[in-house]
Structure 1
Amino acid sequence: MRSPQKTASRWDENKSYILRSITFSCGEGSTSNNVCLFAGGLCHKHALLKSKYKRFERGATALWCVRNKAGNGSQTLMGIGSPVLLPVAGSVPGVDDAPPPPVRGEGRRHGKIVCYSRNRSALCGAPIVRPMDQFAKETLPVSLEEEMRSSYLAYAMSVIVGRALPDVRDGLKPVHRRVLYAMHELNNDWNRPYKKSARIVGDVIGKYHPHGDSAVYDTIVRMAQDFSLRYMLVDGQGNFGSVDGDNAAAMRYTEIRLSKIAHELLADIDKETVNFEPNYDGSETEPSILPARIPNLLINGSSGIAVGMATNIPPHNLREVVDGCLHLLRNPDATVDELIELIPAPDFPTAGIIYGISGVREGYRTGRGRVVMRAKTHFEDIDRGQRQSIIVDELPYQVNKRTLLERIAELVTEKRVEGISDIRDESDKSGMRVVIELKRGEVPEVVLNNLYKNTQLQDTFGMNMVALVDGQPRLLNLRQMLECFLLHRREVVTRRTVFDLRKARERGHILEGLAVALANIDEFIAIIKAAPTPPIAKQELMGRSWDSGLVRDMLSRAESDTVGGRTAYRPEGLLPVFGMQGDGLYKLSDTQAQEILQMRLQRLTGLEQDKIVQEYREVMAQIADLLDILARPERITAIIVEELTLIRSEFGDERRSQIEHNATELDTEDLITPQDLVVTLSHSGYMKSQPISEYRAQKRGGRGKQAAATKEDDWIDTLFVANTHDYILCFSNRGRLYWLKVWEVPQGSRNSRGRPIVNMFPLSPGEKINVILPVKQFDEQHFVFMATSKGTVKKTALTEFSNPRKAGIIAVDLDEGDFLIGADITDGQHDVMLFSDAGKAVRFDENDVRPMGRQARGVRGMNLEEGQQVIAMLVAPAETAGEGEQAVAGSVLTATENGYGKRTPISEYTRHGRGTKGMIAIQTSERNGKVVAAALVAPEDEIMLITTGGVLIRTRVDEIREMGRATQGVTLIAVGEGNKLSGLQRVVESDAEGEDAADGVTESDGEAPSADTTET
């Protein structure tokens, strides 16, 4: 057990104390004294010293308030807030001798905290304390809302400025800048040996970036990856990860050094070209920005998520970006469109294809856009030309190859992408090669387009060009980015020139002193020999005026050649008493005298004197040139142009990413050959398509071909022929419309059932597709006519449904408890018939219902009594007017829940206005029950009857008696006790006879066959 301080202190009842590392055993007279450390919370002393103890974390610090109430011995110890780490120094107030060993109950007295050992002897009294008034004078109430606002704003700005967003000038975030500067300080240059990554990480963390080592190392790793940066800033040796998402080796294994191009970011940093600021603890200084000769933000890009904003800037080709900079320097009024001609699109390190540049140009103009990237592929023949394979050579930027292949495998397993037999990754050190083998007969363009659509073989890079400008985040277009970089370069060149000018003046001043010393060398030597100490010698040299010798001629020539005259060559701050005097003599400054004292004897030779004169002339010429640069902005522009041109020639390379300027949004449909397909939908909801060539023509009386393999309790209730490019409109009972292209219907053999239609759409629970209609084109001459169970009808132009949406749309807005019972395509020349479960029917001209918008609720089509509902909608040819004319052919088959039904000629259903209660279609009674179905049939048709008990019966229509409207019908099926007839369905195709296999099929020319879905 660790013992606290071996002193005790008196507790002032009117003071608060800070307790640090309190260790005491709790047990007022208890024999089982557990060691505990109290670090916060609320505790009554009496309860604390009872026999139930709590164990707290060691080494914590807490704020305590000690109060003693006289008379009753009650004492409260209060810990405030979380542990506060405060140093404890100085003497302990109120220290006295340790208290005597207590007896039972003694711990309550005198307001003291007493520590006990297991043998009940006093251990140490109170721990180290400090009065509360040394910590806080008072407690002030703070508004939580205001505190959260100000604190969160401070946090947000810290993240924005100090972590997530790059500076527009050097294109770096603080951690990248610190890594590069630390490597520069360690002389970890491109032409020197590699250093361990851990060495660099340690320096960065210790000096500049007090964060986790993994964050710093991850930054280094990314700067060393040729698939992450277009121009790597770190030259790495070892495993630095791969496009498969493999992690880099640990920092103790890898070695790094600055890349050659990274030195261009740090060039001239030692010439006071940028500001330096203290590091986190003030022990070092670090640059607030790098000089950056290269436009790093554009050539390498950047991405980051801050608070309330983010940035995502793509990399570009250095040669193109430099060309843009040069054009802007020579033409300051250049527009963004002119710059786009020189910088057409990003250039990604992983190459690939940039598919269309409309989004890129939008990003360059506004700062926000999108770059569509595609993998670069080609096709190869395999199995002696029997099959083909897709070879992936290059991937879009930031796409993980391993994840991509796993995604393709999932799509193949889920059968969302068809035609792939095998996937192999044959990539090696020579380059990327992913092989996707296709099945025999598959068109590679179609499969590839499906992969583009469903995988990251086609990906999008969202451009959001946000960067820090003067410490504030700004959304920048292309021209603004280049302007900010060039403005930074102009400042760097100016500051470098000022630095060089100061150094040249200082050097010229030294050379003047050396020239004076050489002209008076004998006297100088005598003074130095006679002086007892160097300071006295310096004093003697500075105390006299000397013959200027060659200096007078040197200065007169320099003054005539230098802008600004005599003052142009003098160092800043040099007092007038030093230098050339009016009488032609020269007075040495402290700097000159010190340099003369340190001069080596070899400088006394005649050759060295000539060198001093020559160097002085060169320095004077340099000063004149530097002054000219500062006086003429065009000189600075010329220097920037020269530097950028050298960088372009040294580091410029060819574009990697290929640009497809005229690319369009290519849909899979564009690669599908138009052909007619037979589409079938079974009663159980299985859908499939087959080429019409599967059905050969047969003579009348032939047996035909089975269209689909169906179970005994399933049958084909919808069949039509449509082109692969046609649409299928799918209506649900909830009144929603979904679209499907015919080519999207899975093809199957005659022996397959197809795919459940419910799996093709995002249906909600209880929603089901009950009507499908083929459509070739959405023209203004056709309409979609819909009816609901509550008698509402709606007619909407077909063009209203010409904009497909994956999530579907509301075709008709339904009331609570209402549902869609039928829909069909009309052309303004049809009659509509509605049948209710009460045995009534209404027939009216479809033109009685005006066309209305998609958002409309519809109008009343049939007047229903309470508890009744519409069970069927039929679209029939318009009723023939005129006496003696031939009636419309066909009949209506109605069926009731007790298994009764009949056929009635359609001509007996006369036309009336909509919204009426209708005429009798079939007499209903307790004997036959409610009407459950109605369908348009022909004598040669067959129907399927199904009961609630699952009993099916298939019968020919001509076996059902034709009767008048006002009859109850005949028995169609014996439903049995407790069962009801739930519906009937016209069987579209018979596999027993027919002129051909598509007998009765309707071509999808904008109309559809009569609605067959009549089940309730």
Structure 2
Amino acid sequence: MPRKKEPPKKKAVFKHEAYIEGSGSIVNQRITDTLKTNYMPYAMSVIVSRALPEIDGFKPSHRKLLYMMYKRGLLSPDKERSKSANVVGETMKLNPHGDQAIYETLVRMTRGNEALLHPYIDSKGNFGKQYSSKMHFAAPRYTEVKLEKICNELFRDIDHDTVDFVPNYDNTMQEPTLLPATFPTVLVNSNTGIAVSMASNVCPFNLQEVCETTIALMKDSNHDILSTLKGPDFPGGGLMLYDETELNKVYETGRGSIKVRSKYSYDQAARCIEITEIPYTTTVEAIIDKIIDLVKTGKIREVSYIRDETDIDGLKIAIDVKKGTDPDKLMQKLYRLTPLQDSYPCNFNILIAGTPKVMGVREILIEWTAFREECIQRRTYFDLQKKKEKLHLLEALSKILLDIDKAIRIIRETENEADVVPNLMIGFGIDEVQAEFVAEIKLRNINKQYILRRVEEVDTLRKDIEEMEDILRDKKKIRKIIINELQDVIKNYSKPRKTMFFYQSDVEEEEETDDTPDYPVNIFVSDSGYFKKITPQSLRMSNEQKLKEGDYISQSFESTNKTELIFFSDKAQAYKSRVSSFEDSKASVMGDYIPAKLSFDDGEGLKTVVPTIDYSGYVIFFFENGKAAKIPMKSYETKTNRKKLSKAYSEKSPLVAAIFVNEECDILLRTSSGHALLFNTGMILPKSTRDSQGVQVITLRKKALLSSAEIVTEENLEELQKYRAKSVPAAGKPAKELGDSNQLML
């Protein structure tokens, strides 16, 4: 029987709401909704579950690693170190982000890396150094680790229900949400994290000072924190600028900046400065590279050689200085110009109950105290229930003590095993749990000595239960327990402060000096934007300027190598530079192309250059519409090193000329209609706003424009006198006047 022909399948059409077989449907969605739907879950995950530390002082990656080491028994003093590779592999049961990320986390917490004030991991092998970017750590198969003794304080009573446990990512085991640390680890060891739209940067503090401050705050909520917590204490030491105002700001708001400088000594015999401690935020390589750059550019001339002498004994940077150099003055200069002095930016952003919050030291310690109080309450309640259960069982032994033979007889005469417990319950008036406990007693323990010894515990248990119930009722007793634990931590783990202090009054800060060599130069600027700096000697040898075809020198003036220059573009922007930033040139070369040299915007060209030394005087801008604006040079002076200034002058009319005047002088203006105006700059009042359009200085005829402006000099003074003589009434009309100036027909 012939098969029926099936109708041909319709081809999918690429239309808005159509779909192609085997693919998803096309949906219109606002991009803001897409970002909210797809990106927000990721952002929240990074903030809450990855980048920010919690009140126990750890990020999830740190906590998972330490907990797995604890579960492996690496906290036991009898346990040998384990290969790092084994620890990393075990941690992947809780942290599936990859072995390399886990190992880098482990490295930072080791004693060998020197990144933490109180390392959590005892290490053997090469773990690199926090203060060096080139000293890389060895592979995990070569290194060995175990937990440091201080980790006893992190995991104390963790099995007593002090913190919550949650399933791991594949639901095969449980992990803690926090560690019940007995001291404020969040402030003792530094922690840095970058989340989405927020970050955290917690500086380390001395363990003893933190614990003492916590105790003082628990006793008096108005305690002056600065009296016990002197300031941050960095693992690398260094000297911290003691600034009470800034410290109080950090302590109260959680934000601020701590200035730290390197520690050095001077070997006079070898003429060598030895730097042994550097700021926590920099590296040996960054310091050496910066000093080498300064020597190459001529800003530092006292250094003859620098080398890294870091070895097994610790960090050392050796700087050989030239004969006659004052080492203290040189170090003041290096502090100012290099990372030998750096600032640690504080941002105490910490997760509290899953919510990020920037807090000061006071608030952090209050939150930690509340967290620790909850741990003590939960531990006490857990122990209370255990003791109550034990007491309940021992009370059954007390009843059996009255007639042991009866208990044996009941068990022996019971025919079925399942009836033993019910018969004991009936015979002694005890419940099922007690009867089960009695039935499980070994035959060798059914003697008066064993039973009496166990029964003696009843009084102790009842006393302990009463004390625990009293603790749960009285918050002061909970705080007393916390204080005792903090005092034990101080006794067992405190270390002398590493970071000492220096005061601004103790150091004679060297005034910032300009080491740029100063000598006379001639400046030439062409109309198309080429710049030349030529010394007088070179200019005498060749006076013929090399220029592009059709180009010409539009500006030339004498200056010095230290003079600052302001380049005004045709887009109303100013670019600041110095004469010393340009290489000495010759008349026979093209010179530097300013738009490229100073990174002008696309399509932006050079209009004029104004030199200045002390930003005195004025710049007068002349526009095609006949207006002029007199702007003080101080308007272009900036406290920072900004190189680009927008709105340097008005854009309402095209700029004709910008003339720098240090004192009042005569200016000659020319118009496209053949008129000229001679006036004195004192007639124009200065404007405080850079982009001011100024005032009308010349009346223009219809369709006429201002074409040029120039300072009147002795050279063109005779020419002007001729124009004045010719300036007679035209067609019976007198010449127009503007104040004391004369408008001339040329």
Looking at structure 2, the residues matched to 844 and 291 of structure 1 have their Cα atoms a distance apart, in angstroms, of 83
Letter in 2 for 1:229: L
Q: Which residue of 2 aligns with 1:593?
A: 435
Instruction: Give matches, 1:128-147, under 5 Å.
Output: 143=29, 146=33
- The equivalent position to 2:482 in structure 1, one of 640, 646, 651, is 640
Match of 2:258 in 1: 371
CA contact (8 A) 1:863 1:916 kept: no
Corresponding position: 1:516 with 2:352? no
Structure with the larger RCO, 1 or 2 (CA within 8 Å, 6+ apart): 2
| Cα drift, residue 459 of structure 1 | 3.0
Is 2:611 the counterpart of 1:772? yes
SS of alignment partner, residue 655 of structure 2: coil
CA distance in 1, matches of 2:575, 2:144: 58
Higher alpha-carbon deviation: 180-189 or 808-817 = 808-817
1:503-542 equivalences in 2 (<5 Å)? 503-532=386-415, 534-542=417-425
Structure 2 residue 57 is the aligned partner of structure 1 residue 162: no
Give the match for residue 179 of structure 1.
65
Verify the 8 A CA contact 1:733 1:819 in the aligned structure 2.
no
* 1:285 alignment partner in structure 2: 174
- What is the CA distance between 1:279 and its match in structure 2? 1.8
Q: Secondary structure at the match of 1:269?
A: coil
1:518 is matched by which residue type in structure 2? L
2:618 matches 1:818: no
Matching residue's letter, 1:157: M
- In structure 1, the partner of 2:22 is 80
Residue deviations 1:124-159 (CA, integer Å, cap 9, x gap): xxxxxxxxxxxxxxx997856545423432222222
State how 1:777-788 maps to structure 2 within 5 Å: 783-788=617-622
**Partner of residue 17, structure 2:** none
Cα distance in 1, alignment partners of residues 344 and 657 from structure 2: 43
Equivalent of residue 831 in structure 1, options 660, 665, 688: 665
Q: Structure 2 matches for 1:343-382, cutoff 5 A?
A: 343-355=229-241, 357=243, 358-381=245-268
Query: Residues 834 and 862 of structure 1 are in contact (CA less than 8 Å); yes or no, is this contact kept in structure 2?
Result: no
User: Distance between the aligned counterparts of 1:746 and 1:664, measured in 2?
Assistant: 39
CA distance in 1, matches of 2:534, 2:267: 32
Query: Does the 8 Å contact 1:832/1:843 carry over to 2?
Result: yes
Q: Which runs of 5+ in 2 are unaligned?
A: 13-19, 526-530, 546-555, 728-735
Query: 1:457 deviation in Å?
Result: 2.7
Does the aligned pair in 2 maintain the 1:792–1:859 contact within 8 Å? yes
CA apart distance, 1:643: 0.7
The CA RMSD measured in Å over matched residues stands at 4.3
Alignment partner of 1:319 is 2:215: no
Q: 1:230 to 1:789 in 2, by over 3 A?
A: same
Contact 1:271 1:499 in 2 (8 A): yes
Query: Which of 216, 222, 227 is residue 108 of structure 2 equivalent to?
Result: 222
> What secondary structure sits across from 1:262 in the alignment?
helix
**One-letter amino acid of the counterpart of residue 485, structure 2:** E
Q: Which structure has the larger Rg?
A: 1
1:13-39 deviations in Å (ceiling 9; x for gaps): xxxxxxxxxxxxxxxxxxxxxxxxxxx
Among 186, 200, 208, the alignment partner of 1:297 is: 186
State the partner residue of 2:149. 260
Partner Cα distance (1:906, 1:292) in 2: 93
Q: Distance in 1 between matches of 2:598 and 2:470?
A: 74
Q: CA deviation at 1:831?
A: 3.5
Match of 1:152 in 2: 39
Partner of 2:127: 240
Aligned equivalents of 1:907 and 1:147: distance in 2? 75
Aligned residue identity for 1:377: Y
Q: Structure 1, residues 186-239: CA drift from partner, whole Å, max 9, x if none?
A: 111151211122222222213x22331222222111111543222212222212
Q: Is the CA contact (8 Å cut-off) linking 2:622 and 2:655 kept in structure 1?
A: yes
Shift of 1:636: 0.5
User: Cα distance 1:710–1:187, how it changes in 2: closer, same or farther (>3 A)?
Assistant: farther
1:290 Cα deviation (Å)? Answer: 1.5
Q: Which residue of 2 aligns with 1:543?
A: 426
CA 1:758–1:140 in structure 2 vs 1: closer, same or farther (change >3 Å)?
Answer: closer
Aligned-partner SS, 1:655: coil
- Report the secondary structure of 1:516's partner residue: helix
Instruction: Kindly report which structure 2 residues correspond to 1:411-490, keeping only aligned pairs within 5 A, or say none.
Output: 411-415=294-298, 418-439=301-322, 444=327, 448-449=331-332, 451-490=334-373
1:309 corresponds, among 176, 198, 205, to: 198
Quick one: distance in 2 between partners of 1:69 and 1:240?
77
What displacement does 1:355 show?
3.5
| C-alpha distance 740-144 of structure 1, shift in aligned 2 (>3 A) | closer
Q: TM-score, normalized by length of structure 2?
A: 0.80
Partner of 1:848: 683
Give distance in 2, aligned partners of 1:604 and 1:708: 115
Given that 1:391 and 1:436 are in contact with CA atoms closer than 8 Å, whether structure 2 keeps it comes out as: yes
Provide Cα deviations, 1:962-987, integer angstroms capped at 9, x if missing partner: xxxxxxxxxxxxxxxxxxxxxxxxxx
Q: CA deviation at 1:515?
A: 2.8
Look up the match of 1:271. Answer: 160
Change (3 A) 1:254 1:285: same
One-letter code aligned to 2:716: T
SS state at 2:320 partner: strand
Deviations 1:752-798 (A, max 9, x none): x9x989799946364377332333xx7xxx75252447465333456
1:603-632, CA deviations, whole angstroms, 9 ceiling, x for partnerless residues? 456654553343222212111111111121
Contact 1:832 1:873 in 2 (8 A): yes
Distance 1:402 1:282 in 2: 45
The alignment partner of 2:714 has SS state of strand
Aligned to 2:715, what secondary structure does the other structure show? strand
2 CA distance for matches of 1:905 and 1:437?
70
Would you tell me which structure has more helix in proportion to its own residues?
Answer: 2
> How far, CA to CA, are the matches of 2:274 and 2:325 in structure 1?
15
1:807 matched to which residue of 2? Answer: 643
Aligned to 1:71: 6
1:733 and 1:821 in contact (8 A); partners too: no
Deviation at 1:461, TM superposition (A): 2.7
* Counterparts in 2 of 1:868 and 1:650: CA distance versus 1, 3 Å: same
Change (3 A) 1:408 1:423: same
Q: Matches of 2:137 and 2:472 in 1, distance apart? A: 48
- More off after superposition, 401-410 vs 616-625: 401-410
Map of 1:630 onto structure 2: 472
Query: Aligned-pair distance for 1:331?
Result: 1.2
> What is the one-letter code of the residue matched to 1:770?
V
CA distance in 2, matches of 1:794, 1:76: 72
Rounded to whole Å, the distance in 1 between the matches of 2:21 and 2:711 is 79
Indicate conservation of the 8 Å contact 2:569/2:608, yes or no.
Answer: yes
Provide the secondary structure at the position in 1 that maps to 2:372.
helix
Determine whether 1:893 maps to 2:695. Answer: no
Confirm or deny: 8 A CA contact 1:737 1:811 kept in the other structure: yes
CA shift in 2, pair 1:907/1:514, >3 Å: farther
Any idea what the Cα deviations from partners look like across 1:278-335, whole Å, max 9, x if unmatched?
222222111122211121211113222222322222222211211221121101344x
Q: How many percent of aligned residue pairs carry the same amino acid?
A: 26
Which structure 1 residue ranges, 5 or more long, are not aligned? 1-67, 83-138, 546-586, 690-705, 875-890, 896-900, 924-1016
Aligned-partner residue type, residue 473 of structure 1: P
Contact 2:619 2:633 in 1 (8 A): no
Task: State the alpha-carbon separation in 2 of the partners of residues 306 and 343 from structure 1.
Answer: 29
- The aligned amino acid for 1:718 is E
Matched residues in 2 for 1:428 and 1:270: separation? 43
Q: Separation in 2 of the partners of 1:417 and 1:363?
A: 35
TM-score normalised by structure 1 residue count: 0.60
